[in-house]
Amino acid sequence: MVLTAIERATIAGYVDTMESYGYELAVIDGHAGSCPICAAWEGVIVSVSGENRDYPSLDEAESAGCFHPRCLHGITTYYEGISRAPAGGFRSGPREVREPDAAYTARSRQRYMERQIRKYKDRALVAQTPLQKRQAMNKVHEWEDALDEMIQGQPSTNYLYRHRDREKPISGNELLHKQPTHQRISSDGRKVIPETLYNKLIGPVLQSGGIVERGTEFAENHLRSQGAFVSHIGGMLFFRKDATISDVIEEFFHYHQERGSGYAQYTGTEQILRMEIDAKLHLISIAERYKIPSEETELTRRELQDYERRLEEWLRSH
With 90 as the cut, is the pLDDT of residue 229 above it? no
pLDDT in the model for residue 60: 92
Average pLDDT over residues 113-140: 86
Provide, rounded to the nearest whole percent, the portion of the chain with pLDDT above 90.
Answer: 14
pLDDT (tens digit per residue) in 276-302: 899 899 999 998 888 888 888 888 899
Model-level pTM greater than 0.75?
no
With 50 as the cut, is the pLDDT of residue 223 above it? yes
Least confident of 6-15, 46-55, 118-127, 273-282: 6-15
With 60 as the cut, is the pLDDT of residue 181 above it? no
Confirm if 187 and 172 have CB atoms less than 8 A apart. yes
Average pLDDT over residues 56-68: 87
- Would you kindly state where each structural domain of the chain is located, as residue ranges? 2-99, 101-171, 172-318
- Alpha-carbon span 99 to 286, nearest angstrom: 45
Least confident of 1-5, 61-65, 160-164, 236-240: 1-5
Confirm if 78 and 26 have CB atoms less than 8 A apart. yes
With 50 as the cut, is the pLDDT of residue 3 above it? no
Q: Tell me the three state secondary structure of residue 74.
A: coil
With 50 as the cut, is the pLDDT of residue 178 above it? no
Q: Tell me the three state secondary structure of residue 139.
A: helix
Average pLDDT over residues 11-37: 83
pLDDT in the model for residue 94: 92
pLDDT in the model for residue 258: 77
C-alpha to C-alpha distances, 74 to 35, 41, 78, 227, nearest whole angstrom: 14, 11, 12, 21
C-alpha to C-alpha distances, 267 to 130, 271, 273, 307, 310, nearest whole angstrom: 51, 5, 10, 16, 15
Average pLDDT over residues 120-128: 82
Confirm if 281 and 271 have CB atoms less than 8 A apart. no
- Alpha-carbon span 77 to 142, nearest angstrom: 46
pLDDT in the model for residue 281: 92
- Alpha-carbon span 12 to 48, nearest angstrom: 9
